[in-house]
Structure 1
């Protein structure tokens, strides 16, 4: 679920019936401020989730990531797992050595990967519900600056596109 940029609260709150794995595969998340958002799933993620669900044999209202007792994992459990597996991952990805990696860092990594793949910043903001009626500059500016750097790069296909001075404000229902 790292590719979807889920918050910890969204991840631990997922139930099996929040996953839609057919055509137009997506996950329905219930996030901050009781906002509901729909995020598409990649084919690779769909395969992993299908395998996981088959292994778990859970009901529709069961948590997708349960404890041994069948209750949802806690925030602390997720952070603990990150602390255990980041050193393991750093063996094959040396850039992780010495870095502080949190679940929120992974959320920002998902946003940056979408940006690098050419996804428009307004779409990223909607998928991750990063903006309210007025986006906070401290949250959005690193992404906007990265977008500008990518557009100005001579190795980028979008280098000839002008940079719009307008600011995006989401209009959510």
Structure 2
């Protein structure tokens, strides 16, 4: 049976849809998975319209659609269990099809353009356990062949967990900002040019000092502190790759990334009674609501412990 007979649409709309899918696959060179998803999403939409309008839709019916028609489709999909990401992708496919029809002079895409994509809920940060974080920053599981590179990696990871830095902030440090610093605070310029003070714990300073002692390159005060194997500025991808290796060596979850160490910094501080406002300042968040996500992480962890340990759970 040909695809045309499987689609709830009049012949004119069926043919336009076939042409649109061909262009997606050919001219726009979208991935096969995206084209398949768009095909499925528009098929579901046309099936919905058949019931919604009382007959298989044609191009004239598509041209007359209002924002409320698209919202009714999204509401039905949500009742069927579709999440925000699925709904957003489905709406993107329908928009693409309507805009194709608009370019062909067959319909107006204003109706679907007026509908906002559902906001996907932000996933909770996935911190490491305190024990796993200590393994990572201690250098356990390091596979680097050269001692100075192993020390460099350990120093970077210590800054992410011990000071809550983003990887870009750690790698943006100059030798003059941190080389030889014992303990105290470090001034960091983060997102949006916001400057904050972060702690430099003795154990972090020690890790950086060990790297500086072993580094074969001259570390001028105004130049990058962390160097690649050939002496240039260290790239984030190198640390990310090393973290992937450590995940395998230490049997850590896939969520154990360099950025997860920053999440761990905040979560572990909060779990030990840290003040939310102070953690906001340490992380450089402009809004307290951004930091509040860590309260959900901590509560979630407490409930996990309760379920695992309580005899009546």
Specify which structure has the bigger relative contact order, considering alpha-carbon pairs within 8 angstroms and separated by 6 or more residues.
1
2:189 is the alignment partner of 1:15 = no
2:188 is the alignment partner of 1:33 = no
Change (3 A) 1:25 1:54: farther
Change (3 A) 1:89 1:27: farther
Distance, in Å, in 1 between the alignment partners of 2:167 and 2:223 is 17
Change (3 A) 1:70 1:36: farther
Higher helix share: 2
Task: Give the C-alpha shift of residue 25 in structure 1.
Answer: 2.3
The correspondence of residues 79-90 of structure 1 with structure 2, limited to 5 A, is 79-90=240-251
CA RMSD of aligned residues (A): 2.6
TM-score normalised by the chain length of structure 2: 0.40
Matched-pair contact (CA < 8 Å) for 2:186–2:197 = yes
Distance, in Å, in 2 between the alignment partners of 1:36 and 1:146 is 26
Number of equivalences: 141
TM-score normalised by the chain length of structure 1: 0.69
Matched-pair contact (CA < 8 Å) for 2:176–2:222 = yes
Matched-pair contact (CA < 8 Å) for 2:226–2:234 = yes
Change (3 A) 1:67 1:116: same
| Paired position in structure 1 for 2:271 | 116
Bigger Cα Rg:
2
Task: Provide the secondary structure at the position in 2 that maps to 1:28.
Answer: strand
Task: Give the C-alpha shift of residue 148 in structure 1.
Answer: 6.4
Distance, in Å, in 2 between the alignment partners of 1:33 and 1:14 is 17
Structure 1: any 5+ residue segments left out of the alignment? 91-95, 152-173
